[in-house]
A and B are shown apart, each in its own frame.
Chain A
Amino acid sequence: MAANLSSMRHVRGFDVVKPLSITVMIAVMLPLILLPLASIFIFGTNKGLASFWSALSAPEAIFALKLSMVTSFWATVFNVIFGLFAAYVLSKYSFWGRNAVIVTISLPTAIPTAVAGFALLLLWGPYGTLGRLLDPQGIHLMFTAWAIILANIFVTFPLAFGVIKPVFDTMSLSLEEASATMGASRWQTFWHVTLPSLRGAIVSGALLTFARAVGEFGSTILVSGNLASRTQTAPLYIFAKFNEGQVEAANAIAIVLALFSFVIFSILFFARDWLEAD
């Protein structure tokens, strides 16, 4: 019946559903996503480009952006390598408690990020379960860049894994088996056969993790100490400036982060095609 209807429309030469559905889609996106983003750009630049630029070139702002990039980068490196490893183990072997591990890896998605930060403090803080033992040795993790990396790892833990695991699951075993029969070692098979077919998933997993880590706020504000030019990441800087009433300065950095995500997701979009076509 439905098929009949749509073919009838094509016969008439004009599918009214197409422009209508596109309009509805844009109309829904407008107040929910597009206009809020647009207002960041409007408020960030309404005092002129000069004040936008001076807000961006403030040493504290530059530091905050750099710190965000570096901490997110290392969290991404860790989570991609671990996600790859965990996906390999979990799709290759079945063992008692396997499903429990899968669920646990996915948990950070549902945990409020403030809880993640608090959990890290309870463990690694100077009065935490482990931190208490490390503190006398002069090892301080919380309120340093390490704390930010740990928080980023926690909240982005499931992302790379989530992208890589389904590819592993659907990967044809015949290639790996063929490789093994041809006398390749387990490592050679992994490096030359398994890994290349995963590169699309690895790149998207990495970009997704990185983008999410750069925007992380809730856990970072608890564990970093929020010291300007020390442990203040870009989202914390935005929050601090907004609280001080310096809305333009906050918006300038917000624009950078918004553009940044735009670039990341554009890369994600095109890189996937490029890598998978290769």
Chain B
Amino acid sequence: MGNRSWKRPFWFVALLSVLLTSCLPSSPGDAKGGQTITLYGFSIMKDALEKDIFPAFKAKWKAEHGQDVEFVSSFAGSETVTNQILQGAPAQIAILSIDRDAQRLKEGGATASDWHSLPNHGIVNKTPFVILVRKGNPKAIKDFSDLGNSGIKVIHPDPVSSGGAQWSILAIYGSELKKSENETGKPDPTRALQTLRAIWKNVISTPGSAREARTQFETGYGDALITYELEGLMMKGSSADIEMVVPKSTIFSEHPAVIIDRNLSATERPAVEAFLNFLWSDEAQKAFVKNHFRSVTNESFNNANKEFAKIDQPFTVEMFGGWEKAFPDVIDKVFMKQVLNH
């Protein structure tokens, strides 16, 4: 008797397990008879890729080869994505925020190809760094240095996980060097360091990626956010109550794409390489511009987007001698050692 009532839940569990295993989820991303491309990207690449670039390439590949291509993707801070791939995540192609992460993938054996030999040194698009503030700019922020004033709450992504955060540090530091050089004829690293320290004192939150930082800012947190221009333009497009402040001098971030050779079989390679090259096609570059990135192949595409800000004194990572120097000299020696652990 007691025995029978015990068997009731037993059959119930047995039935439930049959039910559950029968609905083991099958991925809608699996292309039938086609190929799947697995892409890992840094946070702000998501919209441009999913809305325009993936569909455009799918159509192109289908027309040329009669084969279906599906994309599966994951997005996070550039350093996070790089660490995931180094730990073995199944990426076949990665689009990263900073060249240093591509370098780390190479050192870790994930990629064997030389992305610098690709078009534009492997850089697929670029965007300048700007400051986002609340509507009406109540704290009267006009340039990076104003962010160090007392009482300003700054949201800044975390340099440990986000490439955008490192661009932002280079933007602040470099803009002070550049302005001091234009004013006195000599770059002033002391002034640049002081500005960086003053701003970092006002940072109230360091989210894991640029996109995460934007979400925090959008939910009403903080007075200012340093981020990619495209994030500001996208927020304007969604009619958020924010304004964009364009610094007098700022950096253009440049984003490399890398093939992860380790996760690529010979049969998969042609489509992945075709997709990589497609990123520099006019079609893809125009799609980037539509999504507020700036084209690296043709400046006239950029003129088509009237919302793009005019930068008075722009610079790139080349000012520091490329990422090979910028990371140890500025991010590590200046930021980590003299700002963060000051």
Contact = CB atoms under 8 A, between A and B. Distances in A.
A143 B20 contact: no
A133 B2 CA distance: 50
A73 B72 contact: no
Contacts of A131: 88
Contacts of A247: 215, 219
Contact of A196 (B3, B16, B72, B75): B3
Nearest to B44: A244
A226 B76 contact: yes
Contacts of B267: none
A245 B211 contact: yes
Interface in A210-237: 222, 225-230, 232
B195 to A, nearest CB: 29
Contacts of A150: none
Given A125-B87, A195-B6, A196-B3, A63 B215 contact: no
B212 interface: yes
Interface in B1-40: 2-3, 5-6, 9, 16-17, 20-21, 23-25, 27-29, 38
B297 interface: no
A203 interface: yes
A255 interface: no
Interface stretch (A45-53, A64-72, A160-168): A64-72
A240 B76 CA distance: 8
Interface in A242-260: 242-245, 247
Contacts of B89: 143, 225
B27 A63 contact: yes
B46 interface: yes
Given A59-B28, A66-B23, A245 B74 contact: no
Interface in A14-36: none
A199 interface: yes
B243 interface: no
A126 B211 contact: no
Given A225-B84, A228-B74, A245 B43 contact: no
Given A121-B87, A244-B211, A244-B215, A63 B6 contact: no
Given A127-B87, A243-B215, A245-B218, A227 B20 contact: no
A192 interface: yes
Interface in B219-266: 219
Given A59-B28, A196-B2, A243-B215, A70 B75 contact: no
Contacts of A142: 87-88
Nearest to B76: A226
Contacts of A127: 87-88
Nearest to A206: B13
A26 B279 CA distance: 57
A73 B28 CA distance: 22
Contact of A70 (B21, B84, B212): B21
Nearest to A144: B90
A77 interface: yes
A225 B263 CA distance: 14
A226 B25 contact: no
Contacts of B2: 196, 278
A131 to B, nearest CB: 8
Contact of A225 (B21, B27, B90, B209): B90
Contacts of A275: 9
A63 B6 CA distance: 34
A125 to B, nearest CB: 5
B84 A67 contact: no
Given A125-B88, A142-B88, A226 B214 contact: no
B88 A73 contact: no
Nearest to B23: A66
Contacts of B9: 199, 203, 275
A227 to B, nearest CB: 5
B73 interface: yes
Contact of A199 (B6, B20, B84, B215): B6
A224 to B, nearest CB: 9
Contacts of A192: 3
A226 B87 contact: no
Contact of A73 (B17, B27, B76): B17
Given A63-B28, A225-B84, A243 B5 contact: no
Contacts of A125: 87-88
B140 to A, nearest CB: 27
B258 to A, nearest CB: 17
Contacts of B46: 244
Nearest to B70: A229
A143 B88 CA distance: 8
Given A121-B88, A199-B6, A227-B90, 20 more contacts: A66-B23, A70-B24, A73-B20, A121-B87, A125-B88, A126-B88, A142-B87, A143-B89, A225-B74, A225-B89, A225-B90, A226-B84, A228-B29, A228-B74, A230-B29, A232-B74, A243-B76, A243-B209, A244-B211, A247-B219
21 contacts: A63-B25, A66-B23, A73-B17, A125-B87, A127-B87, A196-B6, A225-B84, A225-B90, A226-B76, A227-B73, A227-B74, A227-B90, A228-B74, A230-B27, A242-B215, A243-B211, A243-B212, A243-B215, A244-B215, A245-B214, A245-B215
Question: Which 3 pairs of residues, A with B, have the shortest CB-CB distance?
Answer: A126-B88, A66-B25, A245-B215
